[in-house]
Structure 1
Amino acid sequence: MAEIRVPELSLVVLVGVSGSGKSTFAAKHFKPTQVISSDYCRGLVSDDENDQSATPQAFELLHHIVGVRLARGLLTVVDATNVQYEARKSLIDLAKRHDVLAEAIVLDVSDEIAIARNESRPDRDFGAGVVIRQRKDLRRSLSRINRDGFRKVHVLRGQEQIDATTIGYDKSWSNKKDLTGPFDIIGDVHGCRSELETLLERLGWEPVRDAEGRWTDASHPAGRTAVFVGDLVDRGPDTPGVLRLVMSMVAAGRAICVAGNHEQKLVRALNGRKVRVAHGLQESLDQLAAADPVFVEDARIFMDGLLSHYLLDGGNLVVAHAGLKESYHGRASGRVRSFALYGDTTGETDEYGLPVRYPWAQEYRGRAMVVYGHTPTIKPEWINNTICLDTGVVFGGELTALRYPERELVSVPAEQMWYEPVKPLSAPGYRDPGTLDINDVQGTRHIETRYGGRIKIQEVNAATALEVMSRFAVDPRWLLYLPPTMAPPQTSPLDGYLEHPHEAFEEFAAAGVTEVVCEEKHMGSRAIAVLTRTPEVAAARFGITDGSSGSVYTRTGRPFFADTGPLVERLREAVAPLWKALDSDWVILDCELLPWSAKALDLIRTQYASVGAAAGAALPEAVAALTAAAGRGLDVGGLLDRARRRQDNAALFRDAYARYCWPVDGLEGIRLAPFQILACEGRASALEPHAWHLSTLGLLDHELITPTRHRFVTLGSAESRAAATAWWEELTAGGGEGMVVKPAVQPPTGRVQPAEGTQPDGAPPKRPPARVQPGVKVRGREYLRIIYGPDYTDSLDLLRRRFLGKKRSLALREHALGLEALARLADGDPLWRIHEPVFGVLALESEPVDPRL
């Protein structure tokens, strides 16, 4: 039995006359989804697989489907006769456009077998002449098919050989996804052996030295793997020493290396080909001329065998000398190798005579981290999940390594300037682009989150969010998180109440939560504060160079005031204890900005005060008139009682919103009540236990800061529940809005395993819901009067039928998106990746939900 091995990502072209058994062979060896048949495509466009008049449209469709599959990185098999050169060439060109290899499998059977098979099928009525003509075309093709452009041509002669053949798959040479690290990725060395040894030592590598004390090999006690991004040679003082060390480490399986453009040019020179001796090549040639010829030949073979790039850690990491755009990852072609060696150029040259590089990294949107070198910079900077590690050691700069997955940069300085640079080293630019790309957010999208699965964003909602984001939002580099909406508890059946703590406690207890925290719900405006210790931190971490050091924005991403600079400055002063407590130079806080009237004054005037004023003017007159009528003996008792009740309700209504208004003059009177630390450097702290948040925020002692009062409640204790309920009643009776009930420890997935004894009466817990709400707001009776109107208590039976499902679903989805944004921020993801879930929250806010909930 013979085996045909094809690349795991390739285009397999079956070649053979009608009746040669191509479809049977394809069905036997490949998945049904991998096989694209010309007959099937002909049937799709004409309802008749034998309608030859539909052949042009059928092959247009076939090429489209094949192109889509190859673009998605899927092995694809074409089941068509392909006996003519033009048909095969069009498929080879398609494979080249998608940078995949093409393989041909020829099924060569006798005319008699093919004709007999066709005659046995009632749908094949084209006669023997068609097979004979195809056979002639195949015979002519077999003499030159090896020159068509296929990587390999496999010819199977006769049915016995066809039946005995099996198919196997080869991973691409660049596919090392099974290597998961950890890695030490090292930038362009350029013959600087001494600096390489110093860097390896700082990274924890242990040397094997020769008699002269030089490193000849190295190993890491923690089992790390070194990854070299190419350009080991040229310009520096000891190219042979660098090659000797790297070759030993690679041979021992402790390192891998990709090709650099300098290795490629040096190999051409060693092979005797004519090259332009420039850019340090002469130094390498002179140093190798003095080395052992056997070593030089080994080095030539080693450099000649280096690949253009590697896919590592399950495809999450790509290493290429000059970088690699996403569509080239794992692909094999001349242009892929050229891009990996030289990058993308505009075709222009700069004032130094060097090619102008196209900034591919600024448009990169791939999930894989791309680490590269090639273009020397002053210091490495992250740009859209890519980083250049060439920090110009040979030019007197530094030799830099990236620890992966830690994302830690380690550098050592050059011992001297070994080679004069053609042009000065420059910085690569800001960490991320400062503007949004419309392609990142428009249209219907599905956002993968680690805390809530895949969340769908409808196109119509995305369009609304795009309008807000583009016209009204703060600088997008500050817009790192948007808070979720919050749902109320299930409606309370208690007399006189629409919301009550009992339902919130029951909900969490039924889900298996054993302890909750009840936090005072400040009557203010939700605010997100992003603060940095200094403007320099803002520039280094977020690329903001306008001198600002933070931002305070609303839950829809708009700035709170026309100029939030003064508020940010006071806030930075107020949160100073957090820099040391969090070991971070920046922090994101979830807060309430007080008073409510500071931001909602227009709403209060137009919506609430107008109602209160109208009621204050009309109802006393109505009561007076009805009282007079009753005095004249008219039967208006019922109307009078209702008017008096409405007058009392109106007074309560005015008192309710007035409690949340106090004079504000500039920053005087403004207060901020932080209740959660969302993130700081290297840490998405939003999922820390709430006790940690409240105790850490308790360090803040400043007139600007209003503390968040709170109580922890053991749900299995009736006494603990009763005490919290009494506290809520005290808060609301004193004019407070109410409280927010949250699991004391928020489960990362939003799901809690039920625990025994969580019910106060000792009953077993109820079946948990699919997911647990991150928080439930329980509002007081008088505050709800603002929301539902002065007379809402007369309509409780109707209001108890309010539908909460959509609001609760929205809260869960927005919470998951918010956590995902913070996790991506902590992971060091590029700004566009962070904006994806942030934008999703804003888009979901345009879903129609009862605003009173």
Structure 2
Amino acid sequence: MRIEIPELSLVVLMGPSGSGKSSFARKHFKPTEVLSSDECRGLVSDDENNQAATNDAFDVLYYIAKKRLAAGRITVIDATNVQPEARKNAVALAREFHVLPVAVVFDVPERICHDRNKTREDRNFGPHVIRQQMQQLHRSLGSLQREGFRHVFKLQSVADVDAAEVARVPLWNNRKFDHGPFDVIGDVHGCLDELEGLLGKLGYTRDVGGVFRHEQGRKAVFLGDLVDRGPNVPGVLRTAMSMEKAGTALCVPGNHEMKLLRKLRGKDVKLTHGLAQTLEQLEREPAGFRDEVARFIDDQVSHYVLDDGKLVVAHAGMKEALQGRGSGKVREFALYGETTGETDEYGLPVRYPWANEYRGRAAVVYGHTPVPEAEWLNNTICIDTGCVYGGKLTAFRWPERELLQVPAAKVYCESVRPLAPPVQQAPLSAQHANDDVLDLADVFGKRIIETRLHRNVTVREENSVAALEAMSRFAANPRWLVYLPPTMSPPETSRKPGLLEHPDEAFAYFRREGVVRVVCEEKHMGSRAVLVACRDPDAAKARVGVEKGDAGAVVTRTGRHFFTDARIEMEFLERLRAALGKSGFWDEHKTDWAVLDCELMPWSVKAQDLIRDQYAAVGAASRAALAEVMPALDAAAARGVEVGDLLPRTRQRTQLVGRYVEAYRRYCWPVRSLDDLKLAP
């Protein structure tokens, strides 16, 4: 028998003791995939046969199963599971994590179980136990599907068990192997002219059969709601259906398609929200077209996970916990999203803002709810820009992460809720508005951060707590902290005599790390300053979400305000913006903001205490001491006292002290106004 199980599922082995469950599990699954009730008894009581530890053992088993299923890993439960109440928790667990429960039944002859248990010293119970387990299994075999098991496989002999083959079948929504590139298209709603215009703008042309194809092999992805409200629903359906059949497009269903499907199958549905117009247009089509449309919709998958799991597409979005899973709730979320149960002033359901809480690695592209502009929010983007309401039809290009749009030719349908609510000034972006309140879950506890250049970086809990405290009390507005420079790391101690550091050690370090090219720059001796400058307050609002009229910030490398006086900081930034404008920087670089990683001089403006207490103190003490030593040594030498090399060494030290003082004095001068400050690379 070939046992095909979904690649993400909860496999429940069931059968009496000695029926071959554990041997089967070892043969067909990884040891880490199998959770044995016997082994869990051993973990909690040091005795796999201790029935008194059964409850604790299953607590452990289901705890591990939850962690595995939450992580998207197939899980196998190896226990007798012969009673419905014993299987109830497994089915509930599968539903909780939106995976399919699979039953593999070991209904082998009772005598086989007896014979096997006789050879096992750890099985000292009588034959009545096996007999009772067999009876319990047979009484409930017929109800497994009613209990919730989507797949049931029965092995009724030792030969069946030995000959069984287990094949893992990908879920329909798993298209991680498909790397595109993709052009994801928002809600079309029967707007054929705009769709054809957008496909043309994206580079698609019709082949000899009239199917749109892209010469570079790109693939369109339709986000659903192809039908209702617009002027040419049949034309839009033909375009999408032909592209999907030819392999040049993927389609996920929208809630409007599902309502149309119910109507085409004879269900009693209300002819609202454009469905009446769709049915009227379909009535004018050739016989059989409605059946083709019904099959097309019925075959669609709730959502797709694409490009190694980096991209998820669904009509109404998809939470991270639901991605790549299969259940009625997953499909419902893909079609409708979530609502709060309330209605707004227009009588429409209030959508629960799931994207505000999204923290998934996959980018989620969706539609369903018309928005004036497509905006990123926590790695999600809604691209339903209300074409049928006179807005735009939007395509999202992956992996480029670019948007292409065509305007609607006209208003085909009046929206109940205004597409673009009137505002007195430019609103904040969705991301800026959502970032107003910090989510402690994002920063609390131990964090492991994946980076592009340095693999994983671990931030320990004690460090994150201290950083949160410091940032809360002393940092500038976090919206300005778009960049914090790394601390410079000194090289190893030099092996050259008399030197603490030398470039040789730095070059040797880079060579050992495989860095073959190093850029050397002059380092000005100032204080590290990061300047974020925007062309004007409107640019600051659009770029970083600051509303109070600021157009920039000057911060230290730890995120604190560089200047303690806000007035000085504002005047300094005003001069910088004026210089950038006068030099043509904004126009040359086609930007309205810039980040400068600089040295602000003099060094003394920020490091006065450091200079006075350490550098100047050393210089002053050295000069004072050597000023007395040199005349004494000269006088001793003049009297014929043997001073050896002490005199030339002291003279050299005197010269070095002078150079030391001169070195830091070059970067120290009085600051009476902004005219005394210098900004250097």
TM-score higher than 0.5: yes
Aligned counterparts of 1:514 and 1:272: Cα–Cα separation in 2 = 71
User: In the alignment, residue 260 of structure 2 is paired with which amino acid?
Assistant: L
Change (3 A) 1:195 1:609: same
2:526 paired residue among 512, 524, 527? 524
1:156: Cα distance to partner?
1.1
- Could you tell me whether the CA contact under 8 Å between 2:630 and 2:650 is conserved in 1? no
User: Does the residue aligned with 1:518 lie in a helix, a strand or coil?
Assistant: coil
Q: C-alpha deviations, 1:320-354, integer Å up to 9, x for none? A: 11111101100111111111111121121111111
Aligned counterparts of 1:449 and 1:326: Cα–Cα separation in 2 = 20
> 1:452 is matched with which residue?
454
Aligned counterparts of 2:364 and 2:41: Cα–Cα separation in 1 = 42
> 2:246 is matched with which residue?
252
Aligned counterparts of 1:326 and 1:291: Cα–Cα separation in 2 = 41
Q: C-alpha deviations, 1:216-242, integer Å up to 9, x for none? A: 531111111000111111111111111
User: Does the residue aligned with 2:91 lie in a helix, a strand or coil?
Assistant: helix
Q: Counterparts in 2 of 1:670-681, with a 5 A limit?
A: 670-674=677-681
> 1:538 is matched with which residue?
540
1:42: Cα distance to partner?
0.7
2:668 paired residue among 661, 668, 673? 661
2:573 paired residue among 545, 563, 568? 568
- Could you tell me whether the CA contact under 8 Å between 2:428 and 2:542 is conserved in 1? no
> 1:201 is matched with which residue?
200
Aligned counterparts of 2:379 and 2:417: Cα–Cα separation in 1 = 27
- Could you tell me whether the CA contact under 8 Å between 2:19 and 2:113 is conserved in 1? yes
> 1:701 is matched with which residue?
none
Aligned counterparts of 2:239 and 2:382: Cα–Cα separation in 1 = 23
Aligned counterparts of 1:28 and 1:514: Cα–Cα separation in 2 = 50
Aligned counterparts of 2:674 and 2:319: Cα–Cα separation in 1 = 49
Q: C-alpha deviations, 1:724-766, integer Å up to 9, x for none? A: xxxxxxxxxxxxxxxxxxxxxxxxxxxxxxxxxxxxxxxxxxx
Q: Counterparts in 2 of 1:83-232, with a 5 A limit?
A: 83-207=82-206, 217-232=211-226
CA RMSD of aligned residues (A): 3.0
> 1:374 is matched with which residue?
368
Q: Is residue 355 from structure 1 mapped to residue 345 from structure 2 by the alignment?
A: no
1:473 paired residue among 475, 478, 487? 475
> 2:423 is matched with which residue?
none
- Could you tell me whether the CA contact under 8 Å between 1:11 and 1:76 is conserved in 2? yes
User: Does the residue aligned with 2:675 lie in a helix, a strand or coil?
Assistant: coil
Change (3 A) 1:361 1:428: farther
Q: Which runs of 5+ in 2 are unaligned?
A: 421-426
User: In the alignment, residue 472 of structure 1 is paired with which amino acid?
Assistant: F
Aligned counterparts of 2:226 and 2:191: Cα–Cα separation in 1 = 8
1:620: Cα distance to partner?
9.2
Q: C-alpha deviations, 1:219-278, integer Å up to 9, x for none? A: 111111000111111111111111111111111111011111111111112222222332
> 1:273 is matched with which residue?
267
Aligned counterparts of 1:136 and 1:608: Cα–Cα separation in 2 = 89
Q: Is residue 35 from structure 1 mapped to residue 34 from structure 2 by the alignment?
A: yes
Aligned counterparts of 1:16 and 1:209: Cα–Cα separation in 2 = 59
User: In the alignment, residue 573 of structure 1 is paired with which amino acid?
Assistant: A
Q: C-alpha deviations, 1:507-547, integer Å up to 9, x for none? A: 55677766644322110011223334444443334333443
- Could you tell me whether the CA contact under 8 Å between 2:428 and 2:541 is conserved in 1? no
1:660: Cα distance to partner?
1.8
Q: Percent identity?
A: 56
> 1:45 is matched with which residue?
44
Change (3 A) 1:246 1:428: farther
Aligned counterparts of 2:294 and 2:519: Cα–Cα separation in 1 = 68
> 1:797 is matched with which residue?
none
1:94: Cα distance to partner?
0.4
Change (3 A) 1:330 1:622: same
2:295 paired residue among 285, 297, 301? 301
- Could you tell me whether the CA contact under 8 Å between 2:630 and 2:651 is conserved in 1? no
User: In the alignment, residue 321 of structure 1 is paired with which amino acid?
Assistant: H
Q: C-alpha deviations, 1:457-503, integer Å up to 9, x for none? A: 22222222222222222332332222222233443454543333454
Change (3 A) 1:291 1:602: same
User: In the alignment, residue 435 of structure 2 is paired with which amino acid?
Assistant: G
> 1:548 is matched with which residue?
550
User: In the alignment, residue 81 of structure 1 is paired with which amino acid?
Assistant: T
> 1:594 is matched with which residue?
601
Change (3 A) 1:643 1:428: closer
Q: Counterparts in 2 of 1:689-704, with a 5 A limit?
A: none
1:152: Cα distance to partner?
1.2
User: In the alignment, residue 121 of structure 1 is paired with which amino acid?
Assistant: R
- Could you tell me whether the CA contact under 8 Å between 1:430 and 1:543 is conserved in 2? no
> 1:434 is matched with which residue?
435
- Could you tell me whether the CA contact under 8 Å between 1:492 and 1:500 is conserved in 2? yes
> 2:24 is matched with which residue?
25
Q: Counterparts in 2 of 1:350-429, with a 5 A limit?
A: 350-426=344-420, 429=429
Change (3 A) 1:111 1:510: closer
> 1:699 is matched with which residue?
none
TM-score (norm 1): 0.73
User: In the alignment, residue 317 of structure 2 is paired with which amino acid?
Assistant: G
User: Does the residue aligned with 1:336 lie in a helix, a strand or coil?
Assistant: helix
Q: Which runs of 5+ in 1 are unaligned?
A: 211-215, 675-853
Moved more, 77-86 or 298-307: 298-307
Aligned counterparts of 1:624 and 1:37: Cα–Cα separation in 2 = 85
- Could you tell me whether the CA contact under 8 Å between 1:381 and 1:428 is conserved in 2? no
